[in-house]
Homo-oligomer: A and B are copies of this chain.
Amino acid sequence: MSTVDREQQVLERIDRARRARARVKDERITLAHGAGGKATHSLIEAVFLEAFRNPILEPLEDQAVFSVGGARLAFTTDSYVVRPLFFPGGDIGELAVNGTVNDLAMSGAQPLYLSVGVILEEGFPVADLARVTDSMARAAQAAGVQVVTGDTKVVERGKADGCYLNTTGVGVITHDLRLGAGEARPGDVVLVSGPIGDHGVTIMLARGELDIEADLGSDTAPLADLVQRMLAAAPGVRCMRDATRGGVATILNEIARASEAAVVIDERAIPVRTEVRGASEILGIDPLYVACEGRFVAVVDPANADAALDALRAHPLGAGAAVIGQVKADPPTLVLLKTEFGGTRIVDVLIGDPLPRIC
């Protein structure tokens, strides 16, 4: 491509971004803006990135990485508004600890310290709050982190759903690997650490709006130990992302775009529990878009793929790990699914919000 063509392309891209930004700013917030998919990305780019742009924020990874006084730190935040607060396999407290621990772990950091910000609704039973904090304490212990600071606010009755949480975490990075969504290369192998969609489907069923019973619980779990074991066995890991909002499909799209490569996955290879598959069919959603809270995707150098898979499978939290696809050169920035019936279709990022407030 000539220099003139490239310049023309850049100008067109800037113009498209500008128009998209103006469009977003005219809007009102919808549930889709919180779903982790297309609308969330547009909002983040148009509003947050535009306001705060700096080299640490710009990669838009799930954690910031910076150095202070010689220490390389990872830093990440998440708010939790899951409904209901208590569900099979966990509760908002356990989720808030594991979710933030996992965002640190995805940078290869050792999670160390958490802050907890609580927004309580007037009338919320203190006993329920104690149940949440006890659950957080157990999860923190299991993940090897300490809650070291906090804040409590109260809003009037009706202005929150009992309890919203924010956890922010600090971890230390001691490896010197180069990890990031933009690091995937053609030939790399795509792994998932276990069956997908358990958390999202569990939450939908726990709301009782559907008349489905399933023997299913959230997969919420702390992944730092599992990640450390995989990194020790397979230093050729290019990137890791935990498959929360937007599910596996959305993070594969993030990787494909950031790496300007194709991600081709094989439908038959993707581990999905029968209960999740069944409930997803009734809900009319694709498990690829359903959130997990204890599963992650790793892109690994093919020379290390077997070692990575073995390390995952040797750990209780990675027992169901599988190779689900490969990175290819073409078509760049797209995710393709080879279907069970031998066809191929494009897997886009999540559009809309079929499963609101699952974390």
Decide if A231 is an interface residue (CB 8 Å cutoff). Answer: no
Decide if A341 is an interface residue (CB 8 Å cutoff). Answer: no
Decide if A92 is an interface residue (CB 8 Å cutoff). Answer: no
- Per the CB 8 Å criterion, the residue count for chain A at the interface is 84
Q: Using a CB-CB cutoff of 8 Å, which residues 82-138 of chain A contact chain B? A: 112-113, 115-127, 129-130, 133-134, 136-137
Interchain CB contact under 8 A, A25 and B130: yes
Q: Which 3 A-B pairs have the closest CB atoms?
A: A34-B154, A69-B71, A77-B115
Q: Which residue of B lies closest to A136 (CB)?
A: B51
* A113-B75, A146-B57 given; A28·B124 CB < 8 A: yes
When chains A and B are docked, how far (Å) is the Cα of A147 from the Cα of B30? Answer: 24
When chains A and B are docked, how far (Å) is the Cα of A121 from the Cα of B54? Answer: 27
Q: Which residue of B lies closest to A57 (CB)?
A: B148
Decide if A27 is an interface residue (CB 8 Å cutoff). Answer: yes
Decide if A166 is an interface residue (CB 8 Å cutoff). Answer: yes
* A25-B126, A69-B70, A126-B24 given; A152·B52 CB < 8 A: no
Instruction: State the Cβ distance, A262 to closest chain B Cβ, in Å.
Output: 28
Chain A window 147-161, contacts with chain B (Cβ cutoff 8 Å), 1 for yes, 0 for no: 111111111101111
Decide if A297 is an interface residue (CB 8 Å cutoff). Answer: no
